[in-house]
Amino acid sequence: MHDKSDAIIYVGKAIDLFNRVHSYFRVGYKKSPKIEKMVTQIKRFEYIITDSELEALVLENNLIKEHEPKYNTMLKDDKTYPYIMVTLGEKFPRVKSSRTMKKDKSRYFGPFTSNYAVKETLDLLNKAYKIRTCNKKLTGEPEGRPCLNYHIGQCMAPCTGKVSEEEYRENIDKVLDFLGGNYSSIVKDLEAKMNAASEALDFETAATYRDLINSVKAVTQKQKITDHDGDDKDVIAIARDKQDNEAVIQVFFVRDGKLIGREHFYMTHVSSSETDSDVLGDFVKQFYAGTPYIPKEIMLPTELEEAGLIEEWLTGRKESRVYIKVPKIGSKEKLVELARKNAALVLNQDRERLKREEGRTIGAVKEIQELLGLDKLNRMEAFDISNTSGFENVGSMVVFEKGKPKRSDYRKFKIKTVAGPDDYACMHEVLTRRLLRGKEESGEEINTGFSSLPDLILMDGGRGQVNICLKVLDELRMNIPVCGMVKDDFHRTRGIYFNNKELPIDTHSEGFKLVTRIQDEAHRFAIEFHRSLRSKDQTKSALDEIPGIGPARRKALMRTFASIEDVRNASEEELEAIPEMNPQAARSVYEFFHK
């Protein structure tokens, strides 16, 4: 379905498309608020005929991921997970991280829910079994010298022939054994080596083996047994807040009978009229369309309407049978319930976080609005000036909307008309340029960051800065409230200056904290811009001032001559002899130093 701007607003499928579409417009047919709003925005329909229901499912899912229609329930956190890949197709295999699973001779283990877990495991395996980490294509023939990893005892240097293919493969087999869940063999092996080193009074080596044993135990303790059948499965549950149209999906990843991690996902555009089955169905289709690994079994808390069709699709993707199950009793049902509790915990924590965030932002804006007696307050702009004794005068403009910084609308001003340390004159120029530009662009469709005028202007300072702003507004015949952010003797925000008086404000209130954040941000932004210009000037060379001499010719001159003084003393012929120079450039350099 397309709206008047031809944007796709909804993608759906049906066996009987006429009845499906007709239901949206049928009088007396009960529709959700989301559907009612969507219907008012439909301008035209577009349909595609497929050969089967399964093909329609795949096409629907692909179109939703491609266009992200506003009225489709969407998976917000669309991410891929890292796997550990053992490149068995190589003569001397490597063990490394991968975010894709290809149909090659490699073996994959995972997914892992964090890059840190993958890195921790790879570090352990490389230290324990001395597996190579380079990207060289080894043929078995010795080549070159061994790298640093060999000398620090973390590689067997197969590239130089210091280890046979058979001996190297034995270590790879141990790696596969470890990744498959057999941790006891590596612990026994390391303990034997540690004891042998200790008996030989090689305590440094013994300590290294001791640390490796501790690393193995740390990794293995994170693997919790959840099932004795040893199958791969994903356990999925949902928690919802129908009042706020929010949904959180929790997924437990079980591999070889071990819970290796979990992750939660947010679903957006969820209507209160949609059932848990509807939301879970949308999640399963979008999630498994993007993940490289599909487990043998997917456990859910409720039956899916299209369970058979989704099973067929997933089986085709995995190229082996995939089952969607709803456990009713036993340990599997308890695992689904545990996932549901985790999803509810995430939802509650997120709700509390949003409430706190709303207090820091929207609540703080309301406090300022009430304090100043304003009818409307959404967009606030703050200005500051920065210079060093009048050198490199710059101005900054920071923007806050609904109590949050809108960094895309921040602007920097390089002062053009003021020489020397005159902050009032600099501020007059900055405000004039900003407000005049906004006045000229207001009402235009192009948003440059200047076209949206502020509901409140905040000046870094008291009466003097506020009066400068009021003067500019009067010159431009504009009416925008202005207040000053006053600081104390310790350069900390003290209060607000408005309508020729300093207003009392609770220094512990969210409104006061927001004013402080705005003032600090305006100051930071101005100082950073000033410092960047100052550092450029400090690193300038005399060669930068010569007309016709760009970066390439400057580098050529510095390569040829030891110093600027040598360039100054060079003749035109010497300058022209440099390959990057021509007669005109040589004359330009010579005349610059001898005019």
Instruction: Give the residue extent of every domain in the chain.
Output: 17-57, 83-222, 233-357, 365-536, 542-594
φ/ψ (deg, to 5) at 356: -65, -40
Q: What is the pLDDT of residues 269-301, one digit of tens each?
A: 788 788 899 899 989 988 888 777 889 999 999
Beta-bridged to residue 473, according to DSSP, are none
Residue pLDDT, tens place only, 341-366: 888 888 888 777 767 777 788 889 99
CA 389 distance to own-chain centroid? 40
pLDDT band at 220 (very low <50, low <70, confident <90, very high): low
The beta strands (E) that lie in 216-352 are given as 224-225, 233-241, 246-255, 258-268, 297-299, 323-325
- Residue 389: the pLDDT is 61
Element (H, E) at 75: strand 74-75
Mean pLDDT of 491-514: 86
Q: What is the largest CA-CA distance in the chain?
A: 95
Q: CB-hemisphere CA count at 13 Å for 542?
A: 13
At residue 226, the pLDDT reads 45
Distance (Å, whole) CA 237 – CA 337: 7
Question: If you ran DSSP here, which 8-state letter would residue 215 be given?
Answer: H
CA atoms within 13 A on the CB side of 153: 6
Is there a common fold for 233-357 and 365-536? yes
Q: Which is more confidently placed, 136 or 401?
A: 401
CATH number for domain 542-594, candidates 1.10.150.20, 3.40.1440.60, 1.20.1260.10, 3.40.50.1470: 1.10.150.20
CA neighbor of 245 nearest in space, from 217, 206, 273, 265 = 273
Lowest mean pLDDT among 151-160, 227-236, 495-504: 227-236
CATH superfamily of this structure's domain 233-357: Ribonuclease H-like superfamily/Ribonuclease H (3.30.420.10)
Query: What CATH number labels 365-536?
Result: 3.30.420.340
> Which 8-state DSSP code applies to residue 504?
P
pLDDT in tens, 68-117: 888 877 665 555 567 788 888 888 898 888 877 777 788 887 666 567 76
Yes or no: say if 414 and 394 are a contact pair by the CB < 8 Å rule. Answer: yes
pTM for this entry: 0.47
Query: Position of tokens 């070889």?
Result: 256
Task: Give dist(CA 93, CA 168) in Å, integer.
Answer: 9
In terms of DSSP bridges, do strands 404-405 and 379-388 run parallel, antiparallel, or are they unpaired? unpaired
141-167: average pLDDT: 84
485, β-bridge pairs: 496
Rg (the chain; Cα; Å): 34
What is d(CA 328, CA 326) in angstroms, rounded to the nearest whole number? 6
| β-bridge pairing 297-299 and 323-325 | parallel
Residue of 418, 518, 427, 522 whose CA lies nearest to 471: 427
Residues 6+ apart with CB under 8 A from 121: 84, 112, 179, 219
Give yes or no for a contact between 425 and 418, defined as CB atoms under 8 angstroms apart.
yes
CB atoms within 10 A of CB 444: 10
Question: SS3 of 562, please?
Answer: coil
507: amino acid identity, one letter? T
CA angle 280, 284, 290 (to 5 degrees): 145
Q: Write out the two tokens for 167.
A: 């001996």
CA distance 251 to 234: 6
Average pLDDT over residues 150-176: 86
What's the whole-number mean pLDDT along residues 4-23? 83
Q: Quick check: helix, strand or coil at residue 96?
A: strand
Does the N-terminal peptide bond of residue 111 adopt cis geometry, omega within 30 degrees of 0? yes
In contact, 302 and 277? CB cutoff 8 Å: yes
Q: 217 falls in which pLDDT band (50, 70, 90)?
A: low
Mean pLDDT rounded to a whole number for the chain: 82
| Predicted local confidence at residue 79, as pLDDT | 55
Q: Which tokens go with 573?
A: 């012929």
The mean per-residue pLDDT over the stretch 180-187 comes to 73
**489 burial level (CB within 10 Å; 0-12, 13-18, 19+):** exposed
Could you report the per-residue pLDDT of 450-501, keeping only the tens digit for each?
Answer: 778 899 999 988 888 999 999 999 999 999 999 998 887 777 778 889 988 8
